[in-house]
């Protein structure tokens, strides 16, 4: 099958029978729901861009498994050029959507699973790697979007999975059959699950031998019996449901979403299982996935940052403050921070290396440095954008007031900035900044910058492991002439 167009992707989702709840009610039409549709549009953009000749080199590549042209979001990285183009592709998608476009997690899971299953098979003589290759061929040939599901609810963080008062707080196997397994539990913070054809489940942490039932990885269709999706709330999310909402939404066409995904005694066939009790490899899978995903943030967050910087510059212009020295300096600082994030994403890609399985992995130390910066810099970029925008960003009247016959003329008159720019356009850019820094898009920019791909402390732990202090001490001893 050739690459899907954006419209074909949308129609493919209509064929799914998802079990989705939002605001306490079941959603019968997930594709056209006003709160969910902007996030679907963000994924659709990854298909649309792949159809455009000017982006072909970034958005598509040739599969090492089939020899056919595929969307890069389904690629197994074959060299450092692939890793670099991944980051550039993610920046492009961020620029085009100013939101989370949701396919990164699946792509990062593919590459972590590919190399890890190879090494499990090498140790145990299992057939996980071949199974996974067949699964990836299926994904590539059908140009599917896959949700990567790693994070468990976790319950008491001081207890291991098997020691929890409720065993379901980590997803686990409750029954093993000749033809597969039955699993129960949940995955939290699932980005783009309603816009995905498959869900690829991974363990959330390194496992001990007693956690064998929790060391499970598999993929199944998102509409498999027993899966329930409960949509998460976002700031200002109901604005999208207001009649005639346009200006107030900010980023009207694009967005992201997260959900709690419940697995209530779900059957997984053997051919879709890629880890099943080999606890010593759970940590490897988590570490490699986290590395790939922390690399991703050096692209996607930078692309959204580009839009936010542009919006801040427009706000300064519309406010009549663009020539002020302190405004110029703040825009320079925003650019400096944004490009530093990008530099880390490119650096960890350029320093990547081949795994035993043949696909390429990033430099894990630099990937974790990249994500550690992402937990800080977008907050400062957002703060500076809010500073430049001014307080009107969070105090201005609603769009309905602006359209009102009774008071609209007051809003028009008193919210004007420079005379050459309409009040409406000034309101639009301020709402966009609000959306990216505080509203629904903040989930995919500000807050996700902190917690996505692991907490800041998770990166610091990895930086400590990868920092190689013994080697550095040896270097210092040589310079200091210490025998």
Q: Active-site residue numbers?
A: 100, 104, 191, 258, 293, 297, 300, 448
Q: Are 40 and 257 in contact (CB under 8 A)?
A: no
Tell me the pairing of strands 216-221 and 198-201. antiparallel
Which run of H or E residues covers position 433?
Answer: helix 423-437
Closest C-alpha among 234, 317, 173 to residue 22: 234
SS3 61: strand
E strands of 250-327, at which residues? 259-269, 273-276
Closest C-alpha among 179, 17, 155, 128 to residue 357: 128
Distance between CA atoms of residues 449 and 443, nearest Å: 8
Distance between CA atoms of residues 62 and 345, nearest Å: 23
Q: Which two tokens stand for residue 472?
A: 């550095």
Q: Are 385 and 394 in contact (CB under 8 A)?
A: no
Number of CB atoms found within 10 A of residue 457's CB:
10
Name the percent of the chain in helix, strand, coil, to the closest 5: 55, 15, 30
SS3 5: coil
SS3 4: coil
Q: Which two tokens stand for residue 390?
A: 């001014």
């Amino acid at each position: 099958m050739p690459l899907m167009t954006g419209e074909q992707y949308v129609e493919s989702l209509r064929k799914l029978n998802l079990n989705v709840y939002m605001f306490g009610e079941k959603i019968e039409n997930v594709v056209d729901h006003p709160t969910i549709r902007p996030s679907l549009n963000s994924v659709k953009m990854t298909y649309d861009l792949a159809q455009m000749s000017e982006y072909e080199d970034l958005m598509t590549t040739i599969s090492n498994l089939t020899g056919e042209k595929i969307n890069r979001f389904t690629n197994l990285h074959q060299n450092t050029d692939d890793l670099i183009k991944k980051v550039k592709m993610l920046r492009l998608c961020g620029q085009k959507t100013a939101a989370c476009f949701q396919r990164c997690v699946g792509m990062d899971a593919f590459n972590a699973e590919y190399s890890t299953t190879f090494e499990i098979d090498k140790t145990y003589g299992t057939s996980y790697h071949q199974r996974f290759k067949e699964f990836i061929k299926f994904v590539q040939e059908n140009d599917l979007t896959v949700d990567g599901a790693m994070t468990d609810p976790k319950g008491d963080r001081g207890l291991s999975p098997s020691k929890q008062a409720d065993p379901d707080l980590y997803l686990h196997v409750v029954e093993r059959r000749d033809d597969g397994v039955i699993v129960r539990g949940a995955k939290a913070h699932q980005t783009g699950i309603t816009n995905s054809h498959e869900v690829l489940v991974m363990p959330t942490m390194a496992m001990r031998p007693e956690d064998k039932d929790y060391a499970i990885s598999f993929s199944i269709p998102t509409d498999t019996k027993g899966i329930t999706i409960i949509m998460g709330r976002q700031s200002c999310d109901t604005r999208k449901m207001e009649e005639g909402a346009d200006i107030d939404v900010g980023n009207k066409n694009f967005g992201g979403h997260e959900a709690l995904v419940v697995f209530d005694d779900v059957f997984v066939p053997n051919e879709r299982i890629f880890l099943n009790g080999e606890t010593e490899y759970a940590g490897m899978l988590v570490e490699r996935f986290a590395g790939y995903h922390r690399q991703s943030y050096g692209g996607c967050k930078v692309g959204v940052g580009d839009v936010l910087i542009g919006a801040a510059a427009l706000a300064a212009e519309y406010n009549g403050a663009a020539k002020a020295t302190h405004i110029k300096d703040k825009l320079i600082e925003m650019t400096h921070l944004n490009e530093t994030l990008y530099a880390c994403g490119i650096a960890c890609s350029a320093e990547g290396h081949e795994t035993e399985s043949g696909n390429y992995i990033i430099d894990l130390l630099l990937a974790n440095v990249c994500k550690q910066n992402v937990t800080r810099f977008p907050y400062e970029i957002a703060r500076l954008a809010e500073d430049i925008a001014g307080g009107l960003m969070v105090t201005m009247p609603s769009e309905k007031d602006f359209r009102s016959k009774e008071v609209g003329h007051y809003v028009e008159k008193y919210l004007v900035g420079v005379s050459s720019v309409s009040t409406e356009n000034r309101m639009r850019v301020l709402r966009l900044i609000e959306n990216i820094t505080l509203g629904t898009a903040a989930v995919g920019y500000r807050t996700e910058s902190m917690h996505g791909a692991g907490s800041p402390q998770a990166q610091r732990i990895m930086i400590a492991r990868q920092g190689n202090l013994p080697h550095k001490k040896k270097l210092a001893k040589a310079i200091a002439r210490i025998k």
